[in-house]
Chain A
Amino acid sequence: MSDWPLWEVFVRAKGGLSHRHVGSVHAPDREMALNHARDTYTRRLEGVSLWVVKSSDIVASDPDQSGPTFEPAADKVYRHPTFYEIPDEVKHI
């Protein structure tokens, strides 16, 4: 028998926080994936909500392209508040 599909597991640690990737599980279907995720990743109150997503459904950026993908942000310093010079006397800005 070959492996069941892989599912990525995301846990919301508590209300107010985003779901965060914690690992993966193999399972034949979504219900089993959720059950396995619970048993594997939340044995100690690690979360209040679980997501499972088929790994093959995730679209990822290419690490070899991380230059072209993320570089444009680096030469646009004016996007950061520290770029602007405001006299010291001016408060609350």
Chain B
Amino acid sequence: MYTTELDKQKQPPEGANVTAIDGAEDPALVEAFEARVAADEFIEPKDWMPEAYRKTLVRQISQHAHSEIVGMLPEGNWITRAPSLRRKAILLAKVQDEGGHGLYLYCAAETLGTSREEMIEALHSGKAKYSTIFNYPTLTWADIAAIGWLVDGAAIMNQVPLQRASYGPYARAMVRVCKEESFHQRQGYEAMLVLANGTPEQKRMAQDAINRWWWPSLMMFGPPDDQSPNTERSMRWRIKRETNDELRQKFVDITVPQAEFAGLTVPDPDLSWNEAKGGYDFGEIDWEEFYAVVRGEGPVAKERMKARRDAWEDGAWVREAADAHEAKKAARKVA
């Protein structure tokens, strides 16, 4: 994800730290930078940029990268339990893609002067954040279908506009990611359709999955616009191209008919078509739950982090072997 500016600590209000940082910078440079961004030019790694732009991007891109990496965990759990060889091959390919997305994004963040080591360390120590969605459990196979359809669907909604982000390496990474995401969503929806048209028990499973994943998917777009203090600045800097509420509305509008087609019910009694606005009205999101998950109180937050750290530690021997191999070859060259 995918989202944006979710700090564990609340951000100081817009303006406060920005002015302080901008104040120390050459106003002519700042002005030239703002003009370039306003003209939809791309900023590249060696170009001058305000410190606040750099910092915000490092946070945004690395959070996005972490989300891709942690996102492999709930789905990885189901690779051995996929219901057919076809589904297993698909899921394996999808999880591998998510790993790739993480790598594209880490590389993009590194061009801003942070290191891979620092970012991984921040993730493992719990300092960095990742999308709240991955701290919910995947209880049945239908959850894997729901993730592909809803979670990747929401991710696509967030990512498509970022292909035009002002920071070149980020925009280019997003182009690659978006090319690959479409398969993720389609395989999920297809798997959901199979269940929805299956036995009564399979249909119940499908409905149960949408019941649990619908609201967390809507939360993926981040807090409402009036509680999203950095939105204005990020929009001006073109590192966010549409607001959280705009994207959320779009997602609801395209996803509800897909649920209807599958014969599934969206778990929102307040959902209704609003002819005047040409979109759906929908119920209030439980923001208390959202902020609790952001604070790390998600149902499986601890398990996810443990699984991630275990994977890193259990894989240490591979990295050490690669180092040893390189050292041996280098020594041979000298000899």
Contacts and interface: CB of A to CB of B under 8 A. Distances in A.
From A24, A27, A41, residue with most partner B Cβ within 10 Å: A24
Interface in A1-23: 1-4, 6, 22-23
A63 B103 contact: no
Interface in B310-335: 319, 322-323, 325-326, 329
Contacts of A64: 48
B115 A3 contact: yes
A25 interface: yes
Given A3-B115, A28-B326, A29-B326, A23 B104 contact: yes
B322 A43 contact: no
Contacts of B116: 3, 26
Nearest to A26: B116
Interface majority SS (helix, strand, loop, mixed), chain B: helix
A65 to B, nearest CB: 11
A40 B103 contact: yes
A26 B180 CA distance: 22
B107 A29 contact: no
B299 to A, nearest CB: 32
Nearest to A22: B176
A86 to B, nearest CB: 36
A62 interface: yes
A32 interface: yes
Contacts of B47: 63
Contact of B110 (A6, A22, A62): A6
Contacts, number: 51
Interface residues of B, number: 25
B44 interface: yes
B100 interface: yes
A31 to B, nearest CB: 9
B97 interface: yes
A93 interface: no
A32 B100 contact: no
B100 A40 contact: yes
A29 B329 contact: yes
B46 interface: yes
B96 interface: yes
Interface string B276-295: 00000000000000000000
Given A3-B116, A6-B110, A40-B100, A28 B46 contact: no
Contacts of A27: 322
Nearest to B118: A3
A24 B107 contact: yes
Contacts of B325: 28-29
B173 interface: yes
A44 B94 CA distance: 12
A62 B180 CA distance: 34
Given A28-B325, A29-B322, 11 more contacts: A3-B115, A3-B116, A4-B322, A23-B103, A23-B176, A27-B322, A28-B322, A40-B103, A40-B104, A41-B100, A43-B97
25 contacts: A1-B117, A1-B319, A2-B117, A3-B116, A4-B322, A22-B176, A23-B103, A23-B107, A24-B107, A24-B110, A25-B103, A26-B116, A28-B323, A28-B325, A29-B325, A29-B326, A32-B322, A40-B103, A40-B104, A43-B96, A43-B97, A43-B100, A60-B46, A63-B48, A64-B48
Interface of B: 44, 46-48, 93, 96-97, 100, 103-104, 107, 110, 115-117, 172-173, 176, 180, 319, 322-323, 325-326, 329
